[in-house]
C-alpha cells in the first residue's frame, strides 16, 4: 500500500500525538483546508488496515490512532519503502509536481510544493519551469508571483484535456510487474486497478468504476466496436465530466464542430450516455457537456477486423480517397501499387482516417502508449509516415501530432511487412505460453493472443514444470507472466491480459523468428476413438461436479481459499494441500483479474481424483469488499489431479479459462447467474471445445 506525501504527514502527526486531535488542527498544521484533510482520511483508513491499526473517533475531541507498539513501529518503517519519487529522481519528482498541480487547483505557496517534494524552493521553482512546455501544449500556464503563490491558469476545456493527457501518459508508464499488479491495456483498467496508487487519484475510483459499468451495461454496438484505447478514453472523459460537475465546473459552451448536431447515431448515443450518467449520479448535465461527449464519439478509433469485409462508410468520399491515394504514393512509390492492392490495409486505413480528421478539427488529443516502441523498432516507417502526415496537414490545415503519426505507422508498417513477406520465405512461429500450472492464466492468455494474431502462429500452453528438451525443440520462444530466467529460454514477460505494448513486443519477436528456417518435426498423433471416449468422460464429470456457492461479501482471500478447497476435497488435510498450492501460485502472479471482474484460482494437486470446477459469488450479489479482491464479483476454482490424463484435464479446464475472454455470456453468468444457468453455459462451452478438439464440423 502506497502512502502519498500528505498521508505520511497526517500519519506522522497522529503517531506523535497521544491524545485526540481534531481534523481542523491537522489541516492547520499542514496548511490545507479541512475538506482536503477529510478527503485524505477516506484513503488513510484503507492504508492503515494492512498494519492492523485503526482510527478512533470521539465527538468533540477528534481522532486518535490506535494500535500495538509493534504495528506502529512497522508502519513507521514502511515510510521509507514507498515508491514515490525522491528528490534525486528528477523526472519522477516533476511528474509528481504536475499531478499535484492538476489535482488541487487552489493557490499554494511555493514552500508547500518544496516541502511536499522534499526539495528546496529554488528546485521546486525550477521543476515548475520545466513543466511549462508540457502545459503550453494543453494551453495552460503557471501563474507564480511573490506574495501571491502558485496556481494553474487556463480554461476548463484545456484543463480537462490536460487531465486526460496526464492520465493517459501515466497509465502507459505503469509498471506491469510491480507487486504482481496487472497493467491493463487500456487506461480505464489501469485507473480501476491502480486506484490505490496516488498517481491515479485525479479521478475517484468509484466514479470511474460506475461510469465503466454504465457504458458496459448499455450493450451498444458502437461502443463495443471502439478500439480499447478509445473506449477507455470515453470512460475517462465521462468520469471527468462527472467529477468537474460535482465541483461546480461544467462546460456550457458548445464547440463549433457540433453545432446543430441533433441527428444521427452518434448524437443519439451521446444523449443515451448522458441520460444514464445523470440517473446514476443524480446530476444535471448541460448541453455543452453533451456536445463534447458527441465530439469524443466522432473522434473515437473504431476497432477494425479485416474478416468483416465491409467497406467503411467513408469509402464514398472522393476527397478522402484522393488524399489516401496521395499518402500511399508519398510513403513509398516503389511499393505503392502493392499497397493499393492490399484490401486489408485500405479498409483499415480508411476506417482510421475519419476519426483522425474529427480529432484534428476539434483539437482532441489521442494517446499512443507504444509511441516510443514504434519510434525505436520501426524508425524508418515512422519517418516515412511523417511525410504521410504532411499530406494530411496540407489537405486540412491542421498539425498532426506524433501520437497520430505513430498510429499511421502501425497501419503502413503492417502493410509493408505483408508486402515483404510475400517476397520472402516465411513460416508460422511456434509460441509457448507458460504459467505455473499451464491451464488457468496460460489458457486465458492463449485465447487472448489467438484473438489478436489469428493464425500467424502455433500457440501451446505449458506449466512451468513441463518445459523439457522436447518442448524446447518444438518452441521458438515463450510468453509468460512469471520469470523464466532459470530455464535459459527466449521469452517475453507480459501481463495476463496482454497489453498493446506486450502485443507489439510479441509481434516483433514473431517477425524475428518467422524468417528463420527450422527442422521439420514429427507430426502430432492423430486423435482416436479412445481419445473421444476419454474426453467425453472428463467433460461429463466436470459438468456434473460443478457447484455454485455464495460467501460473505467481506470474506478475506485466505478464508475464501479455505472455503472453496473444502468443497472439492474430503478432508481438512486435502483442503489445506489445495489452499497452499493456490497460495504459492498467487505469490508468482496474482490470480485476481479486476478487468474481468473475477478471480481465476487454479492448481494441479494429488488432493483430487477428478478435475473439478466450482464458483463463488458474494451473498446477495455485488462484489467482494476486501481490498485484496479489487472489486471482483466472482471467484472460479479449478483443480486437476496428478495422473496419466493430466494433458486432457488441462485442456478441458483450460478451455473454460480461455472462455473468460471469448464468452461474455459465461462471464456474466458466473457473476450473476444461478447454478443451473452456469452449468448449462459451461456445458455449451465444453461441447464447442469437444468439436474443435477433433476438428469436427
How far apart (Å, rounded) are the C-alpha atoms in residues 563 and 641? 19
- Residue-averaged pLDDT of the chain: 78
* Residue whose C-alpha cell reads 478512533 in the numeric block: 56
Q: How far is CA 19 from CA 25, 29, 34, 57, in A?
A: 12, 16, 19, 11
Determine the pLDDT at residue 555. Answer: 93
Would you say the C-alpha torsion 158, 160, 161, 165 has a positive or negative sign?
Answer: positive
Strand partners, 603: 639
DSSP 256: G
Gyration radius (Cα) of the chain, Å: 27
Q: How many CB atoms lie within 10 A of CB 287?
A: 12
Give long-range contacts, CB 8 A cutoff, 24+ apart: 61-68.
61/20, 61/22, 62/20, 62/21, 62/22, 62/23, 62/25, 63/14, 63/20, 63/21, 63/22, 63/23, 64/14, 64/17, 64/19, 64/20, 64/21, 65/11, 65/14, 65/15, 65/17
Pairing of strands 141-145, 149-153: antiparallel
Query: Contact 257/214 with Cβ under 8 angstroms?
Result: no
Q: For the segment 16-58, what is each residue's pLDDT rounded down to a tens digit?
A: 888 898 888 888 777 666 766 776 776 687 778 878 888 888 8
| Cα 108 from Cα 105, distance rounded (Å) | 9
pLDDT of residue 356: 83
Burial class (CB in 10 A: 0-12, 13-18, 19+), 276: middle
pLDDT of residue 2: 56
Torsion of CA 415, 417, 421, 426, to 10 degrees: -130
Give me the residue label for grid cell 497493467: 183
> CA–CA separation, 335 vs 329, rounded Å?
8
pLDDT at 170: 63
Q: 364: which DSSP letter?
A: -
Q: Which residue has the cell 468509484?
A: 206
Q: Enter the DSSP assignment of 404.
A: H
Residue 558: CB partners within 8 Å, gap ≥ 6? Answer: 579, 583
To the nearest 10°, the Cα dihedral for 413, 416, 421, 423? -160
pLDDT average per 10 residues of sequence, the chain (697 residues): 69 84 82 70 76 85 88 77 47 80 79 78 86 86 84 81 72 38 36 39 69 82 69 76 76 53 69 86 80 70 44 52 87 86 78 79 72 85 93 89 89 85 75 80 82 83 81 89 83 85 86 70 52 80 91 92 90 88 84 89 88 92 91 92 84 85 84 89 84 58
Residue 161: predicted pLDDT: 77
Asked if 273 contacts 237 with a C-beta cutoff of 8 angstroms, the reply is no
Cα–Cα distance for residue pair 163/367, rounded to 1 Å: 12
- For the chain, how are helix, strand and coil distributed in percent, rounded to 5? 60, 10, 30
Residue 420 grid coordinates: 515483404
For the purposes of burial, counting CB atoms within 10 Å of the CB of 149, is it exposed (0-12), middle (13-18) or buried (19 or more)? middle
Structural contact between residues 260 and 223, judged by C-beta atoms closer than 8 angstroms? no
Q: How many CB atoms lie within 10 A of CB 271?
A: 14
Closest CA to 367 of 237, 473, 495: 237
Q: Between β-strands 612-618 and 547-551, what pairing exists: parallel, antiparallel or unpaired?
A: parallel
Q: Residue 62: helix, strand or coil by DSSP?
A: strand
User: In which element (H, E) is residue 636 found?
Assistant: strand 634-640
What's residue 695's pLDDT?
54
**238 three-class SS:** helix
**Phi, psi for residue 457 in degrees, rounded to 5:** -150, 155
Q: How long is the chain?
A: 697
Look at residues 565, 615, 569 and name the one whose alpha carbon lies nearest to residue 585. 565
Residue 193 pLDDT = 37
CA 536 to chain centre: 37
Contact 474, 429 (CB under 8 A): no
Nearest Cα residue to 321 out of 342, 299, 340:
340
pLDDT single digits (tens) 562-595 = 999 999 888 888 888 999 888 888 887 788 988 8
Distances in Å between the alpha carbon of 615 and those of 582, 638, 678? 15, 9, 9
Which residue(s) pair with 457 in the sheet? 429
d(CA 476, CA 495): 20
What is residue 121's predicted lDDT score, i.e. its pLDDT? 81
Amino acid at each position: 500500500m502506497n502512502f502519498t506525501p500528505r498521508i505520511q504527514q497526517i500519519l506522522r502527526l497522529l503517531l506523535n500525538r497521544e491524545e485526540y486531535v481534531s481534523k481542523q488542527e491537522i489541516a492547520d498544521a499542514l496548511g490545507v483546508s479541512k475538506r482536503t484533510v477529510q478527503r485524505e482520511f477516506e484513503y488513510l483508513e484503507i492504508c492503515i488496515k494492512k498494519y492492523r491499526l485503526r482510527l478512533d473517533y470521539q465527538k468533540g475531541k477528534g481522532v486518535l490512532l490506535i494500535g500495538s507498539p509493534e504495528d506502529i513501529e512497522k508502519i513507521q518503517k514502511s515510510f521509507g519503502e514507498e515508491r514515490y519519487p525522491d528528490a534525486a529522481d528528477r523526472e519522477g519528482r516533476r511528474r509528481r509536481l504536475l499531478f499535484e498541480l492538476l489535482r488541487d487547483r487552489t493557490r499554494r505557496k511555493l514552500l508547500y510544493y518544496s516541502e511536499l517534494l522534499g526539495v528546496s524552493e529554488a528546485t521546486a521553482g525550477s521543476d515548475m519551469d520545466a513543466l511549462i512546455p508540457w502545459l503550453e501544449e494543453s494551453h495552460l500556464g503557471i501563474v507564480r508571483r511573490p506574495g501571491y503563490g502558485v496556481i494553474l491558469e487556463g480554461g476548463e476545456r484545456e484543463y480537462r484535456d490536460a487531465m486526460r493527457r496526464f492520465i493517459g501518459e501515466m497509465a502507459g508508464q505503469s509498471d506491469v510487474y510491480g507487486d504482481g499488479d496487472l497493467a491493463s491495456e487500456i487506461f480505464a483498467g489501469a485507473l480501476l486497478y491502480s486506484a490505490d496508487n496516488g498517481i491515479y487519484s485525479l479521478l475517484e475510483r468509484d466514479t470511474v468504476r460506475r461510469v465503466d459499468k454504465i457504458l458496459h451495461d448499455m450493450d451498444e454496438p458502437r461502443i463495443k466496436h471502439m478500439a480499447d484505447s478509445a473506449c477507455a478514453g470515453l470512460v475517462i472523459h465521462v468520469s471527468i465530466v462527472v467529477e468537474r460537475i460535482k465541483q461546480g465546473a461544467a462546460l456550457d459552451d458548445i464547440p463549433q464542430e457540433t453545432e446543430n448536431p441533433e441527428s444521427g447515431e452518434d448524437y443519439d448515443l451521446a444523449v443515451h450516455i448522458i441520460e444514464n450518467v445523470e440517473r446514476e449520479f443524480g446530476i444535471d448535465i448541460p448541453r455543452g457537456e453533451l456536445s463534447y461527449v458527441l465530439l469524443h464519439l466522432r473522434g473515437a478509433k473504431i476497432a477494425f477486423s479485416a474478416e468483416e469485409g465491409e467497406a467503411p462508410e467513408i469509402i464514398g468520399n472522393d476527397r478522402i480517397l484522393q488524399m489516401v491515394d496521395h499518402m500511399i504514393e508519398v510513403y513509398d512509390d516503389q511499393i505503392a501499387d502493392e499497397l493499393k492492392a492490399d484490401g486489408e490495409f485500405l479498409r483499415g486505413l480508411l476506417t482510421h482516417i475519419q476519426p483522425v480528421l474529427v480529432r484534428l478539427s476539434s483539437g482532441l488529443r489521442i494517446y499512443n502508449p507504444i509511441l516510443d516502441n514504434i519510434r525505436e523498432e520501426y524508425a524508418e516507417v515512422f519517418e516515412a509516415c511523417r511525410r504521410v502526415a504532411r499530406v494530411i496537414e496540407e489537405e486540412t490545415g491542421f498539425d498532426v501530432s506524433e501520437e497520430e503519426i505513430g498510429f499511421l505507422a502501425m497501419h503502413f508498417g503492417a502493410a509493408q511487412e505483408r508486402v515483404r513477406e510475400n517476397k520472402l520465405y516465411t513460416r508460422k512461429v511456434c509460441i509457448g505460453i507458460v504459467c505455473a500450472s499451464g491451464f488457468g492464466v496460460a489458457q486465458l492468455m492463449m485465447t487472448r493472443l489467438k484473438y489478436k494474431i489469428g493464425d500467424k502462429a502455433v500457440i501451446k500452453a505449458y506449466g512451468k514444470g513441463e518445459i523439457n528438451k522436447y518442448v524446447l525443440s518444438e518452441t521458438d520462444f515463450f510468453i509468460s507472466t512469471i520469470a523464466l530466467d532459470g530455464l535459459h529460454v527466449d521469452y517475453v514477460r507480459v501481463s495476463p491480459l496482454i497489453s498493446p505494448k506486450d502485443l507489439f513486443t510479441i509481434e516483433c519477436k514473431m517477425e524475428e523468428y518467422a524468417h528463420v528456417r527450422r527442422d521439420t518435426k514429427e507430426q502430432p498423433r492423430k486423435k482416436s476413438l479412445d481419445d473421444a471416449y476419454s474426453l467425453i468422460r472428463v467433460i461429463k464429470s466436470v459438468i456434473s461436479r460443478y457447484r455454485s456457492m455464495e460467501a460473505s461479501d467481506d470474506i478475506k482471500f485466505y478464508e475464501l481459499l479455505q472455503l472453496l478447497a473444502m468443497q472439492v476435497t474430503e478432508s481438512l488435510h486435502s483442503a489445506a494441500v489445495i489452499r497452499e498450492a493456490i497460495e504459492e501460485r498467487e505469490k508468482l502472479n496474482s490470480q485476481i483479474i479486476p478487468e474481468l471482474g473475477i478471480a481465476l484460482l487454479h492448481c494441479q494437486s494429488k488432493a483430487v481424483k477428478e478435475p473439478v470446477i466450482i464458483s463463488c459469488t458474494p451473498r446477495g450479489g455485488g462484489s467482494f469488499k476486501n481490498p485484496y479482491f479489487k472489486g471482483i464479483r466472482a471467484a472460479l476454482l479449478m483443480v486437476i489431479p496428478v495422473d496419466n490424463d493430466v494433458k486432457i484435464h488441462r485442456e478441458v479446464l483450460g478451455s473454460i479459462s480461455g472462455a473468460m475472454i471469448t464468452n461474455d455470456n459465461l462471464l456474466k453468468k458466473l457473476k450473476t447467474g444461478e447454478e443451473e444457468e452456469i452449468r448449462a453455459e459451461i456445458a455449451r462451452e465444453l461441447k464447442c471445445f469437444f468439436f474443435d478438439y477433433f476438428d469436427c464440423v
